[in-house]
Structure 1
């Protein structure tokens, strides 16, 4: 199910401006034109074009709304901004087959110190969303709203994210905290270090709004949508990001109308559009929280002066990449729970063989890796560390 289509063309052009280490990026966003509302479609297409350009360049996406709003209110369609983004310009706008296409060009110079190893993608496990109070879904029979929200959220994250490889878990994880054994099982069975959990805390109907003069129809009522989201590092047992999102819109149906959240009809309602914007914002926030996390490769085999890593080209590793070995040891915390402790070593290895899922890395000095054990880890050395 695809609710909004985006077509992206990104081009890093040669720099012809006064800002050091900047590049021009061109991006085209495409949004559905619904009910003739060209202003809303133009805003959506512009917003996503800006977001795509920022994500592609490595800049912060927190400036998306500011840049978008500025562009849409500038008569010259040209905006001077501060920080990482300069000289943002709407190049063209076209309407075709029920879609609006907006192309923007931005002069971007991201802070490269912000993220050390952006080239590597993180394995992100997504727990299916669930409705906390299912009786709230009775009106409209919205029992599949959690499943549909999960699908749309993943779609939005895939469109915006350059940092993660997404894997949907078969069942929702509802417990507040996971035990050491549960966290280990998730990593072994699904290969992900990062876990996203979400629940729909409120999908209830509120007070009646407006005036409905049709005696055979129910009065319009406000309907809420509350999303609680948590992103955590299950290996280090820490929360990276936690946020509650809330919105509401008019529910313009009578009490007996059944409308499936898995249909286009639902997502074209005011309520569906409001939910879509929340999920889009949540996906951007998750990308922002995850993108600068340091990715670790686990060592699965040791052979004299080389080690086998559980990351490969799929995650972005390349031949010649250099990594630092980290020793992993277990200890008990103050509550008696087992925890992992990582210690940075002086050992450096270089990728010499590579496939989609794994990589062989040899000691740079061809020294024996006698102290390295299966279960230890390695992390990419960025360019500044190598200099």
Structure 2
């Protein structure tokens, strides 16, 4: 069968609020194929296969599943098949015949599972800020008013040293107190400003001290002091506002210091104490959870600059980008349906790009075929498929 000449490919990806990687995601894709010598059925099959392949590839499905589905696709004109594992359901939406080509639209219900992770091997850029102490007066003991600043930096350090999929590439130098209703808008602006894919919000809910008084009969014993820490984190997709991670961790650990002594928030004295060691365990737990939450999500990069037929993008060597990597170009739009559920649409560009130069935080890509990268502008996206 002659290879189809692709005229245009469109794809839409829809998410429901708080859709996590374990849940299915609906992709809508459109393929077009030229009708040669009046062979409409052959063109229809080629267009359908192209649409299915594009939807699966963009979602990150394995090559094996793509081949098994595409090769046996049109045995039934109703075109509704089911498969175990990554693809639960594929349906034909419609087909439209034009003078010399046919357009076929399909919808695929795809489960992001372990097989998808190989297509998401780039680290995802995350930005965070200093963490506000909710009850600021609690920081008076130890004079630890900048503890939230140091805590954010410690989380960044832990991610840089141990995370495989998450890269906290920036800590904005200010405290951010954002009501939940405003978090999406803040995530949009902060992600764009800092070239991040995800925005991590944090707040110290509890930082108080508790004293256990000794018995009057044991007057030689000192009162026992313990300090509480409750840290709340949530992470939003900076493009859609979707919540991809949220967790709250708390500890109560012995406070080894005099109540009237000032402690440096970034000192070994604090971090090697009982409270510091317990806090480090919270940091490790949070970073592990954040890393797992983004492990199978696609890594997106943003187009920073268009120069002739080359593009500068905001992911680079620190994210795992290598010279010769092939990336997909796309534009993304967000809209809400009649039930006020958010959806994202991805419009794929027909030209694939290849990485020509790699720097620490950026890279330069060019069209593989040498064709013009029409309509691509700054703030469009690239993705690793």
TM range (shorter): 0.5 to 0.7
Task: Determine the structure 2 residue equivalent to 1:50.
Answer: none
Task: Determine the structure 2 residue equivalent to 1:169.
Answer: 172
Change (3 A) 1:255 1:296: closer
* 1:1-387 map, 5 Å: 113=115, 115-163=117-165, 164-175=167-178, 176-178=180-182, 182-206=186-210, 208=212, 219-302=223-306, 306-329=310-333, 331=335, 341-381=345-385
Instruction: Give the superposition deviation at 1:184.
Output: 4.3
- 1:69-104 superposed Cα distances (whole Å, 9 cap, x missing partner): xxxxxxxxxxxxxxxxxxxxxxxxxxxxxxxxxxxx
In 2: Cα distance, 1:254 partner to 1:179 partner: 39
Contact 1:212 1:220 in 2 (8 A): no
Change (3 A) 1:266 1:327: closer
State which structure, 1 or 2, has the greater radius of gyration over its C-alpha atoms.
Answer: 2
Instruction: Give the superposition deviation at 1:333.
Output: 6.1
Instruction: Give the superposition deviation at 1:244.
Output: 0.6
In 1: Cα distance, 2:304 partner to 2:150 partner: 37
Could you tell me which runs of 5 or more consecutive residues in structure 1 were left unpaired when the two chains were aligned. 1-110, 382-387
Change (3 A) 1:311 1:150: closer
Contact 2:208 2:227 in 1 (8 A): yes
In 2: Cα distance, 1:358 partner to 1:254 partner: 48
Change (3 A) 1:301 1:150: closer
Contact 1:320 1:351 in 2 (8 A): yes
Instruction: Give the superposition deviation at 1:281.
Output: 1.5
Contact 1:144 1:262 in 2 (8 A): no
Change (3 A) 1:189 1:257: same
Contact 2:351 2:371 in 1 (8 A): no
In 2: Cα distance, 1:213 partner to 1:150 partner: 44
Contact 1:322 1:348 in 2 (8 A): yes
Deviates more, 1:157-166 or 1:307-316: 307-316
Aligned pair count?
Answer: 271
Instruction: Give the superposition deviation at 1:206.
Output: 3.0
Instruction: Give the superposition deviation at 1:304.
Output: 6.9
- 1:145-200 superposed Cα distances (whole Å, 9 cap, x missing partner): 22332232222222212331521101122112447764443234321121112111
Deviates more, 1:327-336 or 1:356-365: 327-336
In 1: Cα distance, 2:306 partner to 2:155 partner: 39
Task: Determine the structure 1 residue equivalent to 2:75.
Answer: none
Task: Determine the structure 2 residue equivalent to 1:45.
Answer: none
2:130 aligns to what SS in structure 1? coil
- 1:304-341 superposed Cα distances (whole Å, 9 cap, x missing partner): 75544333334322222111221233546669999863
2:247 aligns to what SS in structure 1? strand
Change (3 A) 1:286 1:357: closer
Instruction: Give the superposition deviation at 1:253.
Output: 4.5
Superposition CA RMSD, Å? 3.3
Contact 1:160 1:287 in 2 (8 A): no
In 2: Cα distance, 1:121 partner to 1:300 partner: 18
Instruction: Give the superposition deviation at 1:123.
Output: 1.8
Ranked by relative contact order (alpha carbons within 8 Å, sequence separation 6 or more), the top structure is 2
1:351 aligns to what SS in structure 2? strand
In 2: Cα distance, 1:241 partner to 1:180 partner: 14
In 2: Cα distance, 1:303 partner to 1:143 partner: 47
1:127 aligns to what SS in structure 2? strand
Could you tell me which runs of 5 or more consecutive residues in structure 2 were left unpaired when the two chains were aligned. 1-112
